Amino acid sequence: MDREIDLTVLKQETERTALKPQFGIRYDNMIGFGGQPLQYTIMGMVRIPMAKWSSKMNKANIESLKWKSNAIQSQKEMMVNEYSGMAYGMRNELGLKKKQLKLFESQIIPALRNNYRTMQLGYEQNTEELFMLYDAWEILNMKQLELLELLSQALKLQVTIERIIEKN
């Protein structure tokens, strides 16, 4: 974006130089054949943009390039705002994932582990059925897998946030 803005500024300068008088010199020589003498020509050229109608196109181009530069600058600011908004939303989401991870590790998994141990003890004492023990084991494993998936999402989100921060 910055390079495009610089390019439009340079194009504006080029158009501004077209409004100024231009001078040129042309030098030619020609070798004579068959005994003719050498011929030299020097030509001087001047271009003076005096008429209003001749400079209107250049002035219009300068104005359009100015508007284009402003549009690119606005687009750049919009992208910065969009990325910062995305990063802010992702940061909030990451905070939520961290709270969920803390809740899983401190309350949910230990409670399910205790439930499984209780069912296992009940099964060993022949007061619980095998299917109840299997259900407690399955719920514990599913929640542990859910914890790992949540941790994976949080890490991916953190990497994405760091990438966005590096771009800006």
Supply the pLDDT for residue 83: 80
Supply the pLDDT for residue 87: 80
38 vs 29: CA distance, rounded Å: 7
Residue 90 has pLDDT above 70, yes or no: yes
143 vs 112: CA distance, rounded Å: 8
Residue 51 has pLDDT above 80, yes or no: no
Average pLDDT rounded to a whole number, residues 38-44: 85
Burial of 7 (0-12, 13-18, 19+ CB in 10 A): middle
Q: How far is CA 33 from the centre of its chain?
A: 67
From 118, 119, 24, 8, select the one nearest 72 (Cα to Cα).
8
Supply the pLDDT for residue 140: 95
* pTM score above 0.85: no
Supply the pLDDT for residue 95: 92
Residue 53 has pLDDT above 90, yes or no: no
Residue 96 has pLDDT above 80, yes or no: yes
